[in-house]
């Protein structure tokens, strides 16, 4: 998370990326000619209306969706598929219902590709159990967890293998305001200790400003980058920042901008009905 490092190494490069889905009800152009970079240690957020194609963009970087045209490279190599170098926090959580909370967190650590972390996996698991306030539920199955707890479990599972790049799809969406803030602060703490590159999808302008180096405002479908906003506030950031006039001014400005796109997307959706 460096604002000053101009010469920081570019890790991810999206170059003229487009994607169209062909479904039973015709084709939908979801992403159109998107180009942006993620530099080492940079935190970038995507804000855009529901259904505009944010998840699609993130899944392309994760390696689950291939772009039709354009290219996405990670450290100079084209994305070939998913890999443990990129930790993904999915919008639908995807916690494994047949595993207890503890086994869910342990899952990644126990895979052969993460053997290097395996020796102290017990400590890692109990660390994230505590961090996500899931202690006491070690042996519970996900069916006994609330939505927010499942989301925290998904976070713990992804954090546990300590990926260098984090792709987070509305990771705090199901959480109450206090927990949300606590987890945001934790994330920033981890990021100051370790250089991680983060791509975050959120509907909260406030969250995006609070966390990011840079915000990409995404248009109604098909996704295009409408505006790139460099967030000027230095790290470490504290919750007091959100009360400052500068923060509020930026928030209002971006909210207005994104609201227009939300309205546009709604019109689009209404037309499709």
Partner 1 sequence: MSMLAGIASFSTLGAVWGVIWWLNLFDRGLLPAPWEVLNVLTVQMTEKELWLDILLSARRVVVGVFCGLAIALPVGFILGWYKSVRAFIDPVINFFRALPPIALIPLVIVYFGIGELARLSVLIYAAFFSSVIVIYEGIKMIPPIYIRVSKALGATDFEIFKRIVVPAALPHVLTAFRVSTGVCWTTLVAAELVAAERGLGAVIVNGQNFFQVPVIFVGIIMIGAVAVIMDQLLRYATAHLLTWQESI
Binding site for ligand ATP (CB under 6 A): 21, 23, 28, 30, 48, 50-56, 91
Specify burial of residue 103 (Cβ count, 10 A radius: 0-12, 13-18, 19+): middle
The smaller minimum CB distance to Mg ion, of residues 168 and 183, is found at 168
The smaller minimum CB distance to partner 1, of residues 99 and 174, is found at 99
- State which of residues 69, 96, 253, 272 lies at the interface with partner 1 (CB under 8 A): 96
Residue 94 found at the interface with partner 1 (CB under 8 A): yes
Q: How far apart are CA 152 and CA 137, in angstroms?
A: 12
Which of partner 1, ligand ATP, Mg ion, none lies near 86, with the C-beta cut-off 5 to 8 A by kind?
partner 1
Torsion angle (degrees, nearest 10) of CA 163, 191, 173, 148: 80
Per the document, the length of the chain is 273
- State which of residues 23, 81, 136, 245 lies at the interface with partner 1 (CB under 8 A): 81
Find the DSSP H helices in 63-215: 101-109, 115-118, 121-131, 147-160, 177-193, 205-211
The smaller minimum CB distance to partner 1, of residues 76 and 81, is found at 81
The smaller minimum CB distance to ligand ATP, of residues 189 and 272, is found at 272
The smaller minimum CB distance to ligand ATP, of residues 45 and 102, is found at 45
The smaller minimum CB distance to ligand ATP, of residues 30 and 101, is found at 30
Rounded least distance, CB 91 to partner 1, Å: 9
Residue 223 found at the interface with Mg ion (CB under 5 A): no
Q: How far apart are CA 178 and CA 48, in angstroms?
A: 24
What Cα–Cα distance (Å) separates residue 210 from each residue in 13, 45, 155, 205, 251?
Answer: 24, 10, 19, 8, 10
Rounded least distance, CB 206 to partner 1, Å: 28
Q: Segment near partner 1 (CB under 8 A), from 7-15, 77-85, 186-194, 211-219?
A: 77-85
Cβ neighbours for 175, distance < 8 A, ≥ 6 positions apart: 148, 151, 152, 183
**Two structure tokens written together for 226:** 């409408």
**Two structure tokens written together for 216:** 């990409």
Residue 67 found at the interface with partner 1 (CB under 8 A): no
**Two structure tokens written together for 63:** 């390696």
Q: Residues interacting with Mg ion, by CB under 5 A?
A: 55, 91
Which residues form the interface with partner 1 (CB under 8 A)? 62-64, 81-84, 86-88, 90, 92, 94, 96-99, 107-108, 111-114, 141-143, 157-158, 161
């Amino acid at each position: 998370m460096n604002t000053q490092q101009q010469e920081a190494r570019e890790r991810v490069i999206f170059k003229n990326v487009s994607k169209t889905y062909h479904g039973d009800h015709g084709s939908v152009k979801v992403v159109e000619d998107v180009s942006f970079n993620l530099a080492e240690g940079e935190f970038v957020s995507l804000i855009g209306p529901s259904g505009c194609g944010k998840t699609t963009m993130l899944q392309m970087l994760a390696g689950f969706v291939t772009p039709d045209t354009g290219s996405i490279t990670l450290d100079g190599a084209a994305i070939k598929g998913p890999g443990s170098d990129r930790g993904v926090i999915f919008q639908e959580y995807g916690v494994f219902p047949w595993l207890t909370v503890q086994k869910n967190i342990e899952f990644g650590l126990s895979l052969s590709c993460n053997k290097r972390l395996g020796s102290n996996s017990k400590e890692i698991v109990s660390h994230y159990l505590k961090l996500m306030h899931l202690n006491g539920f070690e042996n519970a199955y996900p069916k006994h967890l609330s939505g927010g707890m499942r989301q925290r479990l998904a976070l713990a599972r992804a954090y546990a293998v300590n990926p260098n790049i984090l792709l987070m799809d509305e990771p705090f969406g199901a959480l109450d305001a206090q927990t949300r803030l606590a987890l945001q602060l934790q994330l920033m703490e981890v990021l100051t200790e370790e250089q991680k590159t983060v791509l975050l999808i959120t509907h909260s302008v406030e969250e995006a400003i609070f966390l990011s180096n840079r915000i990409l405002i995404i248009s109604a479908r098909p996704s295009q980058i409408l505006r790139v906003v460099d967030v000027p506030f230095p790290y470490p950031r504290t919750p007091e920042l959100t009360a400052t006039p500068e923060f509020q001014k930026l928030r209002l400005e971006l909210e207005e901008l994104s609201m227009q796109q939300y309205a546009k997307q709604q019109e689009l959706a209404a037309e499709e009905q």
